[in-house]
């Protein structure tokens, strides 16, 4: 059981895979659901803790704004960066159509 | 040819005083790589030609009387999740295979400025997610002390490289134990510095509030030397502590007389009996060396595993969104961008990375955020407060590094929870942001090495290295 009271389901796993842009097939959904349910089962241990009045800790030390002087500095070489891309065109990254051809 | 020293400090001194050349040193280490690397697979890439050329340049500088850096001629292996300009950096993932970064990580440029010579990029669990290197897309690294066993992970290649004599020192990264656990399993020294002491610029991010770069070495003094070389403020990392690198090498030989060493009375169970026996011997050795052992309690420690395996995957699910087939690495072509993302990421990521991305996405998703991620952040606060309380009573805390010695391949790979339990003693430090190190201390089951972990408060590297040095002396007496 998870802290929310219900174990993770195959439908949950299929949904998060979609949200995370991971194409996984039905057999993998079953496989991952089994593994993730076991891992999340362990997480119920923190249900025993009284966390009222405890502040969330997102970082080891408080973050502060870091600013630098607004002066021009060298940046990465555009040609070198584009050379590492799967596809580029007119000094830009090239991607497939944003909207599917059959939409 | 003169004998090649086995330590980084010895090598640097011998080269600077012209007893040996940098070329002789690098050729000796490359010969060892040629001989044993086929059995170990510590490296994703060996940069032999560049290393020889770098060594020749250093020798030319020394011959001409030009000044050289404090690590001039010291061979070093670099974990393959640290960016190296123009040199393939893969994170042991198919999604980055072939990628040549357009810049160097700050730690890489600092080591080069100091004269250290990179011998290669070391294998890891894909994106540093794992405790055995079995999650590498390019095959596991084998433990040099017993090739039927894992070297630990995720920095298993860096630990194995030092243990096999491929380099006197190496760099790894530690998010939940990824330097200290493989150091323990391979019988070498491993250090995770205070969060923010070492720049993360150019470290491929896994969990940004936990990640920290640190060294592996055969001696505590060498580990201190490399920590000094890579530490200190970097404007390219907004979480970098705005202080210069501390002096640490001198601490190693200062002894522990008068120090207060914490013994955790409510340490989470699960360690092998031999590991607990070595820990008790370590306490006895430090007491004999003049330290006082003080009992402390860390009641929230047993919840650290849950907090970590919610926080780290949550951060990873966000950090790894950048691998989308657009700007670098693998692309699987499809009719539209959305299908391209899904197909690319499915083909490029291995199972453990997918598990953690899905776990993190779930923990952050609407309706579950408060129950999982929000709760984990509060547990993180409790653990941090436990440490703060303990450090009002003691200078450092001693625990085992790993509950188990190096295990055989395949032992835990199909059971994620069993693998995660390897990190039970190393994770709490990352959550708090404190420094910790693993020092080899005798052997456990199957004659495999045991590591003792020294934990210290934030920026407590100096007392940590004092205790590390004392443990090393005592361990030498055990042999």
How far apart, in whole angstroms, are the C-alpha atoms of residue B342 and residue B347? Answer: 9
Residue that the structure tokens 């995370």 belong to: A20
User: Is residue B184 very low, low, confident or very high in pLDDT (cuts 50, 70, 90)?
Assistant: very high
Question: Of A1-10, A16-25, B187-196, which gets the smallest average pLDDT?
Answer: A1-10
Do B132 and B419 touch, CB atoms closer than 8 A? yes
User: Is residue B2 very low, low, confident or very high in pLDDT (cuts 50, 70, 90)?
Assistant: confident
The predicted model gives B4-29 an average pLDDT of: 97
Active site residue B131: no
How far apart, in whole angstroms, are the C-alpha atoms of residue B263 and residue B277? Answer: 14
* Residue B479: predicted pLDDT: 55
How many angstroms separate the CA of residue B409 from the nearest CA in chain A? Answer: 20
The ipTM is 0.93
User: Is residue B478 very low, low, confident or very high in pLDDT (cuts 50, 70, 90)?
Assistant: low
Domain membership of residue B431 (yes or no) is yes
| B178 and B51 part of one domain | yes
CA torsion B139-B141-B147-B152 (nearest 10°) is -120
B139: left (phi over 0), alpha (psi -120 to 50) or beta: left
| B202 and B351 part of one domain | no
How far apart, in whole angstroms, are the C-alpha atoms of residue B465 and residue B467? Answer: 5
pLDDT in tens, B433-450: 999 999 999 999 999 999
- Beta-strand ranges (E) seen in chain A are 88-89, 92-93
Number of domains chain B is built from: 3
Q: Does B479 touch chain A (CB under 8 A)?
A: no
| B165 and B293 part of one domain | no
* Residue B476: predicted pLDDT: 86
pTM above 0.95, yes or no: yes
Q: Which domain holds residue B128?
A: 8-252
* Residue A100: predicted pLDDT: 62
The residue from B234, B252, B270 where one domain ends is: B252
Active site residue B154: yes
B406: left (phi over 0), alpha (psi -120 to 50) or beta: beta
φ, ψ of residue B396 in degrees (nearest 5):
-140, 170
The predicted model gives B160-174 an average pLDDT of: 98
The predicted model gives B299-303 an average pLDDT of: 95
Q: Does B432 touch chain A (CB under 8 A)?
A: yes
The residue from B370, B391, B419 where one domain ends is: B370
What does each C-alpha distance from B28 to B1, B43, B295 come to in angstroms?
10, 17, 47
Q: Which residue of B has its CA nearest to A17?
A: B358
The predicted model gives B139-149 an average pLDDT of: 98
How far separated are the first and last CA of chain A, in Å rounded? 41
Q: Does B201 touch chain A (CB under 8 A)?
A: no
Which residue, among A40, A59, A92, has the nearest Cα to B355 in the 3D structure?
A: A40
A96: left (phi over 0), alpha (psi -120 to 50) or beta: beta
Q: Which residue of A has its CA nearest to B417?
A: A39
How far apart, in whole angstroms, are the C-alpha atoms of residue B163 and residue B146? Answer: 11
The residue from B370, B388, B408 where one domain ends is: B370
Of the residues A96, A98, A100, A101, the best mutation for testing chain B's interface (the one with the most B CB atoms within 10 Å of its CB) is A96
pLDDT in tens, A53-80: 999 999 999 888 988 899 999 999 999 9
| B63 and B81 part of one domain | yes
pLDDT in tens, B347-388: 999 999 999 999 999 999 988 999 999 999 999 999 999 999
Can you name the residues that pair with B22 across neighbouring β-strands? none
The predicted model gives B73-90 an average pLDDT of: 98
Mapped onto helix, strand or coil, the DSSP state of residue A11 is: helix
Domain membership of residue B387 (yes or no) is yes
Instruction: Record the tokens describing residue B210, joined without a space.
Output: 């936990």
pLDDT in tens, A73-92: 999 999 999 999 999 999 99
| B133 and B38 part of one domain | yes
Domain membership of residue B187 (yes or no) is yes
The predicted model gives B442-470 an average pLDDT of: 98
Q: Is A24's CB within 8 Å of B346's CB?
A: yes
| B117 and B23 part of one domain | yes
Give me the catalytic one of B9, B92, B132, B154.
B154
CATH classification at residue B222: 3.90.1300.10
Domain membership of residue B3 (yes or no) is no
């Amino acid at each position: 059981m998870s802290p929310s009271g219900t174990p993770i389901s195959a439908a949950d796993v299929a949904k998060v895979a979609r949200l995370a842009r991971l194409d996984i097939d039905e057999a993998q959904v079953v496989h991952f659901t089994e593994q993730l349910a076991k891992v999340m089962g362990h997480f119920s241990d923190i249900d025993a803790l009284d966390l009222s009045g405890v502040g969330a800790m997102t970082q080891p030390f408080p973050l502060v704004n870091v600013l630098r002087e607004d002066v021009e500095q060298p940046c990465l070489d555009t040609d070198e960066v584009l050379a590492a891309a799967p596809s580029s065109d007119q000094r830009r990254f090239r991607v497939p159509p944003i909207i599917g051809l059959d939409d | 040819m003169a004998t090649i020293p086995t330590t980084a400090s010895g090598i640097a001194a011998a080269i600077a005083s012209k007893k040996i050349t940098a070329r002789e040193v690098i050729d000796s280490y490359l010969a060892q790589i040629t001989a044993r690397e086929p059995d170990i697979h510590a490296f994703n890439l060996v940069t032999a030609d560049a290393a020889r050329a770098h060594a020749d340049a250093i020798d030319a500088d020394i011959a001409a009387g030009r000044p050289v850096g404090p690590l001039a001629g010291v061979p070093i292996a670099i974990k393959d999740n640290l960016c190296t300009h123009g040199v393939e950096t893969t994170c042991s993932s198919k999604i980055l295979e072939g990628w040549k970064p357009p810049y160097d990580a700050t730690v890489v440029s600092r080591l080069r400025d100091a004269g250290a010579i990179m011998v290669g990029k070391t294998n890891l669990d894909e994106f540093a997610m794992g405790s055995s290197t079995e999650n590498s897309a390019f095959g596991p690294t084998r433990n040099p002390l017993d090739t039927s066993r894992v070297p630990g992970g995720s920095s298993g290649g860096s630990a194995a490289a030092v243990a096999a004599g491929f380099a006197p020192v190496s760099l790894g990264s530690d998010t939940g134990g990824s330097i200290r656990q493989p150091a323990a399993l391979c019988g070498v020294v491993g250090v995770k510095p205070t969060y923010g002491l070492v720049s993360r610029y150019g470290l491929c991010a896994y969990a940004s509030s936990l990640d920290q770069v640190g060294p592996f070495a055969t001696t505590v003094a060498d580990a201190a030397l490399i920590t000094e070389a890579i530490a200190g403020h970097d404007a390219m990392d907004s979480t970098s502590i705005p202080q210069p690198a501390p002096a640490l090498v001198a601490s190693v030989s200062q002894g522990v007389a008068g120090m207060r060493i914490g013994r955790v009375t409510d340490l989470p169970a699960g360690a092998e009996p031999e590991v607990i026996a070595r820990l008790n011997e370590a306490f006895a050795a430090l007491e004999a060396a003049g330290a006082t052992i003080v009992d402390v309690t860390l009641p929230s420690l047993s919840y650290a595993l849950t907090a970590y395996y919610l926080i780290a995957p949550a951060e990873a699910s966000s950090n790894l969104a950048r691998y989308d087939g657009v700007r670098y690495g693998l692309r699987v072509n499809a009719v539209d961008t959305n299908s391209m993302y899904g197909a690319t990421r499915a083909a490029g990521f291995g199972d453990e990375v997918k598990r953690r991305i899905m776990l993190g996405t779930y923990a952050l998703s609407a309706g579950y955020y408060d129950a999982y991620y929000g709760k984990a952040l509060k547990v993180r606060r409790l653990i941090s407060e436990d440490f703060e309380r303990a450090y009002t009573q003691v200078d450092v805390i001693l625990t085992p590094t790993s509950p188990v010695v190096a295990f055989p391949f395949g032992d835990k790979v199909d059971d994620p929870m069993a693998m995660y339990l390897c990190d039970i003693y190393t994770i709490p430090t990352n959550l708090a942001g404190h420094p910790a190190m693993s020092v080899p201390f005798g052997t456990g089951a199957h004659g495999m090495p045991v590591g003792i972990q020294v934990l210290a408060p934030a920026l407590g590297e100096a007392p940590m290295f004092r205790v590390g040095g004392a443990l090393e002396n005592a361990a030498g007496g055990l042999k």
